[in-house]
Structure 1
Amino acid sequence: MDSIQTLLLLLLLILCFAIWVYAVQIRHRNSYKLPPGPKPFPIIGNIFELGQNPHKSLAKLSKIYGPLMSLKLGSMTTIVVSSPETAKLVLLKYDQNFSDRPTLNAMRPFDHHKLSVAWVPVGNKWRKLRKICKEQMFSVLRLDASQSLRKEKLQQLWDYVNDCCTSGEVVDIGRAAFTTSMNLMSATLFSVDFAAFGSDSSREFREIIQGIMALAGKPNVTDYFPILQTADPQGIFREIKHYFEKCFEIFDEIINQRMQERGLPSDFPSKNDMLEALIDLKLKKETELNFDDIKHLLLNLFVAGTDTSSVTVEWALTELMLNPGKMLKAQNELRNVIGQIEQVQESDISKLPYLRAVIKETFRLHPAAPLSVPHKAKEDIEIQGYIVPKDTQTIVNIWAIGRDSSVWSEPDLFMPERFLEQETDFHGQHFELIPFGGGRRICLGLPLANRTVHLMVATFIHNFDWKLEGGLKPGEIDMTENFGLTLQKATPLKAVPFKVM
């Protein structure tokens, strides 16, 4: 009987909370001139408007309610930005007001939201971590110095594809790109390769990283109704915590081994990688860097740096195989500029305008982060005649901007040629193409991703042609997306390489 009474009391409390939330919603909505949006249902608001693919659902709604749109997601007010002009206001003109992040429940395990460079509020800690990343990993000087490492990993990719070419084996493009990206990151961070092509370890790491990205981007009812955080009805907190634990176990083992190596005689060969630089900084007391900071920074770099690049490469190869004429143009450019034998170098990218156009068009159609990482308003602010209230979650629909017919002619077609006719870059200055975001929270890894994505795509197509697995025709390629923090291809792209005659 006591358990029944407890359950009834709990239901009564939830009902009272729901009524209070609804009253606050109505009062809040009436006290501000919010941007237009669909009428919210009582209590739940517009949660059901999101659907399985929120980037597409929100793009459709923006055509009705405009490029600055408001939604109620439970107790959370959300503003959705869907045009280059409005994105420029939020990410550039009012960047300071929108530079913080909402505290999402999926980012709470191990206080990741307080320690992660991607999620920590703008302040001294964020500036310190951002400076470390730029100076130790993403500066032009550092990237130029690590070219030989990327050359080695790309040669391993070429060797793997060539072996499959000789044996007639099928290549899982996304998995091969993932293994290359992962080894690039693990070698840069730790001076080790985490996996070999076709290995079980590669599959395990891919499951961990893609699991984190899928859960981080999944609409979470506990963000909309904080009273449910302890219950975690979708299990998102528990699952992502499990993935974090797996990563931290790996990092702890590597860090402990590295600290032991540093205690060996001075003639023991030292490593020249990110971990070594971070430990050096940690031992300097003025940096106020601890091992928790290091592990969360490594988690950011490893997960985001691996997944986003491999996702983009798989979509680029998918579009090229879907459009054989575009594939031939990219291959001919490579063969004319580079030759048939030489490996593509980073210095060659500037000489390959069509390859660069292919990558830009892939970024436009298939941005790795379709809704970017959400922002949060620090104060009430007026934009385009409407009020965006303090603490409002603000989302930029990068996918919708890339498909906007008022910006792009024939927006659903893969047409790299459009970028041969106009000077549009993706470094946060042209807001019609912002796959890495913009403003002060622009993706720190952009300079590295720019190099690796171009080189991986070039490696796949330079000396090889491709036949789809099972005699599949280009028009039969499944283009279904799996939504998350990154936009995965639901059905892996698999093809057999053969040598170009």
Structure 2
Amino acid sequence: MFSLLFLFVVCFILPLLMFFHKYRTNKNYPPGPKGLPIIGNLHQLDISKLYLQLSQFSKLYGPLFSLSLGLRQAIVVSSAEIAKEVLKDNGNVFSNRPILYGQQKLSYNGSEMVFSQYSDFWREIRKICVVHIFSAKRVSHYSSIRKFEVKKMIKKISGHVDSSSVTNLSEVLISLSSTIICRIAFGRSYENDGTEKSRFHEMLHEFQALLAEFFVCDYIPYMGWLDKLRGLHGRVDKNFKEFDEFYQEIIDEHLDPNREQIKDEEDIVDVLLQLKKHHLSSIDLTFDHIKAVLADMLVAATDTTAATSVWAITSLIKNPRVMKKVQEEIRNLGSKKEFIDENDIQNFPYLKAVIKETLRLHLPTPLLVPRESREKCIISGYKIPANTIVYVNAWAIQRDPSNWKNPEEFYPERFLECSTNFLGQDFEFIPFGAGRRICPGISMGVASVELILANLLYSFDWKLPHGLVKEDIDTETLPGITQHKKNPLCLVAKITM
């Protein structure tokens, strides 16, 4: 039976092999590593550290190279100049998303902003998010939630401080960021009931893992049965059902006419339900659309805020000079205040530089969310066919020595000496992407990171546990779309006030 299956596969794939051979012999197609029949380069890729591996490939094949991913073609961009060609100059061509099984299933078939195809629907759902969720007015509206939760975190850490107690900052910051987002999105948090909190975080962790999972069916469709044998379809179905029920519970609570709502604490579900009820958008919003937008909020905001905050403190611990300088700035301007407010942060240029430098070296998403070409075009002299997957390796671009002096050094001063920012205009620095599909939630995410870091650095002196030195703090990362620190950041806090 296996022999018959093998013969069938070989006979079926021969015409396709000839088709893909054409790319490798075409001088107008980007160079790349040689692959094997059927699977292409899939066997050469380590999904857990893909951005590092692709960075190494770029040193061999150049800043624009190609990969064969089973029956799909891909190109990898590793320079600011080519990123500008793709994301800006040809932004209309490269505005689609590749259709990948796990992402489509968990996003209600792309019924939201991140994984939907470039279309009138995408433009409208993005407009809803930009105007009604991520606007400056809305970000400011939720400042009281950020302040309350960060204050509570500082109080909690203070209550457990003694000369030797160790604070697991990774755990604290993941809990804080998810609480902030849940309150903003759902109007409630999941920290008081231990069972409910555990269930929610287990679901969220599985959701994030599945978004980064490799599915054979995405690249060799007729071998998708391997995904079922690996149990992936079952995992996706289970997680989707759990979150669908979770979102429905939240929606039902908001639709309850007897629901008690605190004045002026309108959350994202309230906003979306009002848009649905009064038909205030050009698309007929459904509950599935609302659930899909909530999924975007949970994954994009929770993960990135926590990861960036952890990497910032990690970098400061490993660089005492920078730690001292940023704490002096905050404490000199903060004077004897009990808490650093968001308005105070506008007076902290060095803190902002620290955050930028953290985003440069440890950007939350090292590979930007993949795109796909809608039609054929020419990039850097190479012919790129339609339906080609595009990976922009922002990690490699932001460590490119042609753009950054001493790129491996954590040196925030570089951002005091230039006007480079992360708003998508400077292609050597694109932690949130650029072009039509740049992340619209930049201001909300940065507001949380700034408030968290300002108060952690203002309220405490942070030291390594007894017996450790800064060289013991590793920078290994976990597999996944978001670049989390592999080993928890555990430090000793000393109250300064």
Contact 2:108-2:288 at 8 Å conserved across structures: no
* Corresponding position: 1:48 with 2:43: yes
Contact 1:214-1:486 at 8 Å conserved across structures: no
Provide the alpha-carbon RMSD of the alignment: 2.3
One-letter amino acid of the counterpart of residue 346, structure 1 = E
Instruction: Report the TM-score, using the length of structure 1 for normalisation.
Output: 0.92
Bigger mean CA deviation after superposition, 230-239 or 363-372: 230-239
- Specify the alignment match of 1:283 in structure 2: 277
Contact 2:69-2:219 at 8 Å conserved across structures: yes
Paired with 2:138 and 2:262, the residues of 1 have a C-alpha distance of 24
TM-superposed deviation, 1:295: 0.6
Unaligned runs of 5+ in 1: none
* Corresponding position: 1:183 with 2:201: no
1:79 partner SS? strand
Paired with 1:417 and 1:240, the residues of 2 have a C-alpha distance of 45
Matches within 5 A, 1:76-155: 76-109=72-105, 112-155=108-151
Paired with 2:250 and 2:170, the residues of 1 have a C-alpha distance of 27
One-letter amino acid of the counterpart of residue 88, structure 1 = K
Paired with 1:100 and 1:56, the residues of 2 have a C-alpha distance of 25
Paired with 2:157 and 2:261, the residues of 1 have a C-alpha distance of 39
Matches within 5 A, 1:362-373: 362-373=358-369
Contact 1:218-1:485 at 8 Å conserved across structures: no
Matches within 5 A, 1:307-386: 307-386=303-382
* Corresponding position: 1:300 with 2:331: no
Bigger mean CA deviation after superposition, 153-162 or 309-318: 153-162
* Corresponding position: 1:10 with 2:5: yes
* Count of matched residue positions in the alignment of Structure 1 and Structure 2: 493
Match of 1:409 among 399, 405, 408: 405
Contact 2:95-2:436 at 8 Å conserved across structures: yes
2:173 partner SS? helix
- Specify the alignment match of 2:429 in structure 1: 433
One-letter amino acid of the counterpart of residue 32, structure 2 = G
Contact 2:164-2:465 at 8 Å conserved across structures: no
Bigger mean CA deviation after superposition, 147-156 or 201-210: 201-210
- Specify the alignment match of 1:34 in structure 2: 29
Residue-by-residue CA offset, 1:126-181 (whole Å, 9 max, x unaligned): 12211111122211111122211111111111112211225853222122111111
Instruction: Report the TM-score, using the length of structure 2 for normalisation.
Output: 0.93
Q: Structure 1 residues 29 and 281, CA, compared in 2 at 3 Å: closer, same or farther?
A: same
Contact 2:475-2:486 at 8 Å conserved across structures: yes
- Specify the alignment match of 2:239 in structure 1: 243
Residue-by-residue CA offset, 1:31-67 (whole Å, 9 max, x unaligned): 5721121222222222233224110111111112111
1:429 partner SS? coil
- Specify the alignment match of 2:218 in structure 1: 223
Contact 2:215-2:224 at 8 Å conserved across structures: no
Residue-by-residue CA offset, 1:407-459 (whole Å, 9 max, x unaligned): 11111111111111111101111111110000110112111011111111112
1:180 partner SS? helix
Paired with 1:416 and 1:486, the residues of 2 have a C-alpha distance of 22
Paired with 1:425 and 1:235, the residues of 2 have a C-alpha distance of 43
Q: Structure 1 residues 471 and 245, CA, compared in 2 at 3 Å: closer, same or farther?
A: farther
One-letter amino acid of the counterpart of residue 141, structure 2 = A
Q: Structure 1 residues 375 and 492, CA, compared in 2 at 3 Å: closer, same or farther?
A: same
1:71 partner SS? strand
Paired with 2:408 and 2:482, the residues of 1 have a C-alpha distance of 19
Residue-by-residue CA offset, 1:335-359 (whole Å, 9 max, x unaligned): 0111243312212222111111111
Contact 1:35-1:70 at 8 Å conserved across structures: yes
Unaligned runs of 5+ in 2: none
Paired with 1:192 and 1:50, the residues of 2 have a C-alpha distance of 41
One-letter amino acid of the counterpart of residue 322, structure 2 = K
1:497 partner SS? strand
- Specify the alignment match of 2:267 in structure 1: 273
Paired with 2:373 and 2:21, the residues of 1 have a C-alpha distance of 20
